[in-house]
A and B are shown apart, each in its own frame.
Chain A
Amino acid sequence: MSALHLLWQGAAVVVGGGILGLVYKGFDRKLAARMQSRIGPPLRQPFLDVGKLLVKESVVPKDAVGWLFRAMPFLAVVASFTVLLYLPWGPFPAILSGHGDAILVLYLLAVPALAMALGGFASGSPLATVGAQREIVMLMSYEFPLAVAVVGVVWRLATLGGGPAFSLAAIAAVPLWTQVGPLGVIGLAILAACLLIVTPAELSKIPFDIPEAETEIAGGLMVEYSGTYLALFYLADAAKTIAMAALVVTLFAPYGIAGLLGLSGAGAQAVDLAFHLVKIFAVMFTAVTTVRVAMARLKVDQVARGFWLQITAVAVAGLVLLVLDRMVMG
């Protein structure tokens, strides 16, 4: 594949991912509003928000560490969009397929959170500092179950000989569910559930919006951000939402429907891509929209305890089941 071709495809994914992220954000807001018996904003509201933020003045507080404060939004945006390049899009393989794997994606997903935390610390406001501390605690709490879930799946796949270990392309190509035994299916289901629970935490959405916690710390690590920088964080969040949901889909439901419909060629690709997007939407609706309207915000110590003890225990149990399955099935 030529470098130019790669560049062109990459640009398409980044732009498409950004637009898709904002569209999905619009759906998320609209559906959340309807669940709360409100009208909600029009679907294009996220675009209007970003547009408005881009023309607003970007204030850098006097007490802030200027360069760090300015750099972090860019880091967050770059990291979240890079994840999109590593994820397969339905029938299309990932743009950077072969240049990195599931582990890299895990690290990249942690980068926006770190960037936000650093930006929060750099903004020199006590509220942002509290938010940044919380973000770090959150990061430490959910990373382990997240890693267990992802690693469990890719390891089991590697044992089946489905291509290079930890390669997301291989996972997408070989759906696991049919290839493991009954123990494995239970284990996979548990890991899928864990990943769905981690998703809102990864995205800092209620009940895990602790680092921002509007009513407590007034937006926390975002409190000093405005204008372009805030727009960048907004975009990063939109892209990360898509990336996280796409990761769940890739790991646990990489199925297409074109085969079932008896399509082939470009039609099949289009249908599969559309189906992929629908699946991403379904994951977002389940793990983000529904959860965030149905729960109260938890406290950081409750979240840390929950992730370290209960969720980790459950995830490890899922992993153990996969290991047992490997022993049984060979």
Chain B
Amino acid sequence: MILKTLFSQLFTRPATNRFPAKYMPKSVLGFLGKVQAGKATLVPPVPVPPKFRGKIAYDREKCIGCQLCIRVCPAKVIEFLPEEKKIRMHVARCTFCAQCVDACPVDALAASPDFLLSDTDRHSTALIVE
């Protein structure tokens, strides 16, 4: 009977994770500023599994400039820098398939657990990897 479920849920903790705070703060940026200043506490997000595909991490030293990642990237995230023979990634376009990670012959690319990527500017430094 549904009533049983309803009343048991009334007295149990809601299923929602309260990230970043129980109620939406008036200004998220203001709230994050407060968190950094130690005036508010952030409810952590649900932890990601070990093999999570987040923001791509790039090891510039290892990169040999083979451009294989550029060939397989479905979203045209990766830009080739011809002078340095390195790459630049525009994370704002990324679809997180991590095909570039699989394709990279020298393991210069890796999927990091980083997923808090929202930004108001698609060209902000947080969204450019090079």
Give chain B's interface residues, CB within 8 Å of chain A: 2-3, 6-7, 9-10, 12, 14-16, 18, 22-23
Contact = CB atoms under 8 A, between A and B. Distances in A.
A33 B7 contact: no
A42 B23 contact: yes
Interface string A248-271: 000000000000000000000000
Contacts, number: 33
A294 B14 contact: no
Contacts of A294: 2-3, 6
A38 interface: yes
A290 B6 contact: yes
19 contacts: A33-B14, A34-B9, A34-B10, A35-B7, A35-B9, A36-B6, A36-B9, A37-B9, A37-B12, A37-B16, A38-B14, A38-B15, A39-B14, A39-B16, A39-B18, A40-B14, A290-B6, A294-B3, A294-B6
Contacts of A35: 6-7, 9-10
A243 interface: no
Given A34-B10, A35-B6, A40-B14, 11 more contacts: A36-B9, A37-B15, A37-B16, A38-B14, A38-B15, A38-B16, A39-B14, A41-B23, A42-B23, A294-B2, A294-B6
A34 B16 CA distance: 10
A323 interface: no
A41 B24 CA distance: 10
A39 B9 contact: no
Contacts of A193: none
Interface string A19-47: 00000000000010111111111100000
A128 B45 CA distance: 42
A237 B9 CA distance: 27
**Residue among B2, B10, B14, B22 with most chain A CB within 10 A:** B10
Contacts of A33: 14
A158 interface: no
Interface residues of A, number: 14
Nearest to A295: B2
A293 B6 contact: yes
Given A42-B23, A294-B2, A294-B3, A31 B10 contact: yes
A161 to B, nearest CB: 42
Contacts of A37: 9, 12, 14-16
Nearest to A31: B10
Contacts of B16: 37-39
A31 B10 CA distance: 7
A39 B10 CA distance: 10
Interface string A39-63: 1111000000000000000000000
Nearest to A36: B9
Nearest 7 interchain pairs by C-beta:
A35-B6, A37-B15, A37-B9, A39-B14, A35-B10, A39-B16, A34-B10
Contacts of B7: 35
Contacts of A40: 14
A46 to B, nearest CB: 15
A293 B5 CA distance: 11
A31 B7 CA distance: 10
Contacts of A36: 6, 9
A36 B9 CA distance: 7
A320 B18 CA distance: 55
Nearest to B9: A37
B100 to A, nearest CB: 38
A288 to B, nearest CB: 14
Contacts of A41: 23
A289 to B, nearest CB: 10
A140 B81 CA distance: 75
Contacts of A290: 3, 6
Contacts of B3: 290, 294
A36 B16 CA distance: 11
Interface string A269-297: 00000000000000000000010011000
